[in-house]
Amino acid sequence: MTPTAYAITLEVAPDSEPEWLRWMRELHIPEVLREPGFLRCRLWKDASRAQDGWVRYVAWYELTGQEAVERYLGGEAVKRLRADGVARFGSAMRATRATLTEAASFG
């Protein structure tokens, strides 16, 4: 299987960051990791802010392969998990997503 990453770039309004970060660490990421094929997640904080001052994070999920991402994106869990984020944070959170397959490995 080809190693696959699912990367979500998240921008959060500064006043929502503490609550959002607690939700990500305690609820959201653990729930996503219970989905088949998800191996681990690393949450990165960008040293630079977005142009409007929002805080930027990247959630980097590692999966068993592309089929695990496709299964997740086509299933009910992704709808429920995204809806929960919108219900909790609405316009105080923005997300863009990318699915990445390994092209080469060094080191």
Give the pLDDT band of residue 94 (cuts 50, 70, 90).
very high
6 and 104 Cβ atoms separated by less than 8 Å: no
What average pLDDT does range 14-32 have in this prediction? 98
| pLDDT of the residue at 2 | 81
In the chain, the percentage of residues whose pLDDT exceeds 70 is 99
Instruction: Dump pLDDT digits (tens) for 29-62.
Output: 999 999 999 999 999 999 999 999 999 999 999 9
**Residue range 4-95 in CATH 3.30.70.100:** yes
Enter the pTM of the model.
0.93
Of 43, 40, 51, the C-alpha closest to 10 is 43
